[in-house]
Chains A and B, each alone.
Chain A
Amino acid sequence: MRVAILCSSPYSETGCAVAARLAQVGYVPVGALTLPSWDRRTLLRKLGQWGLRDSLHYAVAKFAPGKTANRKQVLNPYLERSLRHGEGVYRNLREVGRVHGFPVVTCGDQNSPRALSQLKQWSPDLAIFTGGNILRDEVLKIPRLGVLNSHLALLPEIRGMSSPEWSLLCGVPLGITIHFMDSGLDTGPILLRREFTSGDDCEALTDLRNRMIAEGIELLAEAVAGLDCGTISAVAQAEREADRQFFVMHERLKAVATRRLKKGRLNTVAGRCDG
């Protein structure tokens, strides 16, 4: 199975962990296509998402590794198992590529002619999306089987952004869905859909999200193996209405979601989230 990785930055921990985990289970990527690390939009988005303090911590961990302990070089501690390499950890995708022998190519836009041509050259059976641009049909059609995404909620119930938080607020069980991407937002056929049950002792949304990301990577590896062996197949989503779409959650609602998380009442219905 020829697998390509699509990544938002060479320094993306999730991207590195997916590539490293796939290599560990025997599916060494044929290549990784990433956006530049100094893209202004990405930097601003990350600043908005993490805040200045966590962004600085991340930058120090990635660019000045000698000054921090291994455990501090990984922002998401649950990825350490995938990222561990000898005495240290992978800090960027290029290191993973060097160790496992696959190329890492940077492009300004994953839909650009250059990106398309590179992907065609790799001729992948499958691509795994770990972040970047909204992919156009031309890109989605290149891998023989399609492009896989790990979505941090059960589909089709919760589509879009802040999905674990919305799951908590809407009383939808927490879960992870591995699905093929199509032109819609999280509307593609589903390969694996699993409830997430390891969040009961979580105290913070960041912790929950980190655990779910790590679990999502395990499911991705399982999905790739399943596709390779022909033991799983995709099932179209039951509905495609746009009104299952959710957006980035405001901090006041996040505070309520955090309270629900702490109380461990993950499956009670308290708010309505349909149109």
Chain B
Amino acid sequence: MNRAESSTNRNVMDRRTVRGLTEAAGLLRAPQRVIPLCYRLASDELRATLEYRHLYSYAATSIPSADALRSVVGWMLDAQRPDGGIAAYYSLLTGYSESYPEVTGYIIPTLYDFERLTGNPAARHAAYLATDWLFSLRMRSGAFPGGLRGPASDAQPSVFNTGQILQGLVRAYVETGNSKTLQGAVAAGDWLAAIQQADGSWTGFAAYQGTAHTYYSMVSWALARLAEESGESCHAAAADRNIDWVLAHAQPSGWIDGINLRGHPAYLHFIAYVIQGTLECGILRRRDDAIQAAAKSAWVLLRKFETHKRLLGTYQPNFKGGQRFSCLTGNAQMSCIWLRLFEVTGDLRYLNAALKMNEMLKQLLPSKGRRGVLGGVAGSHPIWGAYQPMRFISWGCKFLADALMLEQRLTGQAETKFEASECA
């Protein structure tokens, strides 16, 4: 380890210590949170002690998906702040965080999907407010800032956040037809294309930790989506270049290298980002190489889930062992990936695994509790796991909502297809 890496790791440790102390102090400011915290700690401890996952775990439906979906979307609507942005998380120690531009952006498509599925006008209204708030954050370059939006926020442009917000802007344009929204999206796409490296990666000042990451395939997905609406070939070309770069990191084991997060393990959330971005971009750009690479990776994780009835919270390269907690967001993302692979390939084993994964996630949703807890997706299970400990996180809710909506759509389609073949 060189001196620069050692210094970065020290900084990460220092930041974690400060964050931990700040969060603990939050409990002193709001002692009413002690009871929900103790309840959650006790219930997770009990479940971790008594639970034994057998072959038939999650093979039956215990909670209707429609109920779970309403509950999860309810959590996201509750998490919308007065400024229109959506909080990153609800901490059992400090309560709601400030609005978070990145997740606010990519929750917008989820809100519109929910409104289309259920006709719930509150979700559409929330998406309007979120889009307006995001526009207030636009930088002159067309980029969007990173981090949480707080009063003392010193805005720095961020590739990843811009990409994730782009997802929301493109969808908002599709839903509203507002040309100003498309202009904002195109400006963000132009900025992303302009600062992309020749090899297709994003690195430098606007990349997290200044280095290139394969999970920025999520940005390629957003650019590919934008290209469909803007019709501009530069956005499609930028997406293709990045996917080429990502695919150059694919290993024979199915693992896609290059997550490159110094000071953090490779959480399932980031592994799933790599796969999801590659898959979705591959679908939009009609690239079999990308779809195949994503499918190979997703299949390795499917086998692990089916065999062990769980996915680890982190993995070492080539899917070797990792930490034993569950990263629930990563699980929900894997469910989305398997469902999409079922849609693309027709292989029923992807649908089967996703149904079971959704069942597991539904069972972990709090069915009672205060605002911020009820219907929320915890960062980790048990709640003290290493990923976003003691928090219910908005992007976990977003991915679970996506997975449940995909489940409803695809199981409906599959059943209709089977019925048609039976009647033929």
Interface residue ranges, A against B (CB under 8 Å): 40-41, 44-45, 47-49, 161, 166, 169-170, 242-243, 245-253, 256, 259-260, 263, 265, 268, 270-275
Contacts and interface: CB of A to CB of B under 8 A. Distances in A.
Contacts of A273: 347-349
A270 B55 contact: no
Nearest to A45: B54
Most chain B Cβ neighbours within 10 Å, of A243, A256, A274: A256
A44 B54 CA distance: 7
A256 B351 CA distance: 13
A33 to B, nearest CB: 22
16 contacts: A41-B54, A44-B52, A45-B55, A243-B299, A247-B352, A248-B55, A248-B56, A250-B59, A250-B352, A251-B60, A252-B355, A259-B419, A270-B418, A273-B348, A275-B345, A275-B349
Contacts of B17: none
B57 interface: yes
Interface string B355-376: 1100100000000000000000
Most chain B Cβ neighbours within 10 Å, of A40, A161, A247: A247
A256 B60 contact: no
A252 B56 CA distance: 14
Nearest to B302: A247
A263 B423 CA distance: 9
Contact of B345 (A161, A250, A251, A272): A272
A251 to B, nearest CB: 5
Nearest to B420: A270
Nearest to B354: A250
A62 to B, nearest CB: 20
A48 B59 contact: yes
B421 A252 contact: no
A273 B57 CA distance: 22
Kindly list the 3 A-B residue pairs having the minimum CB-CB distance in the complex, ordered from nearest. A48-B56, A247-B306, A272-B346
B230 to A, nearest CB: 35
Contact of B347 (A40, A270, A275): A275
A233 B205 CA distance: 68
A40 B61 CA distance: 24
Contacts of A251: 59-61
A177 B289 CA distance: 36
Nearest to A242: B303
Range of interface residues on chain B?
Answer: 20 to 34
B345 A253 contact: no
Nearest to A250: B355
B422 A260 contact: yes
Contacts of A243: 299
B295 interface: yes
Interface in B330-355: 345-349, 351-353, 355
Given A45-B56, A48-B57, A251-B61, A272 B418 contact: no
A260 B127 CA distance: 42
Given A265-B422, A270-B418, A253 B355 contact: yes
B417 interface: yes
A274 B355 contact: no
Contacts of A248: 55-56, 59, 306, 356
Contacts of B57: 48
Nearest to B65: A252
Interface in B276-335: 295, 299, 303, 306
Nearest to B421: A270
A157 B15 CA distance: 54
Interface string B54-73: 11111111000000000000
Contact of A259 (B59, B417, B418): B418
Contacts of A270: 417-418, 421-422
B406 interface: no
Interface in B13-61: 52, 54-61
A167 B154 CA distance: 60
Contact of A249 (B295, B352, B359, B421): B352
Given A253-B351, A259-B418, A271 B295 contact: no
B335 to A, nearest CB: 12
Given A263-B422, A268-B421, A271-B346, 14 more contacts: A40-B52, A41-B54, A48-B54, A48-B59, A249-B352, A250-B355, A250-B356, A251-B60, A253-B348, A265-B422, A272-B347, A273-B348, A275-B295, A275-B345
B199 interface: no
B355 A256 contact: no
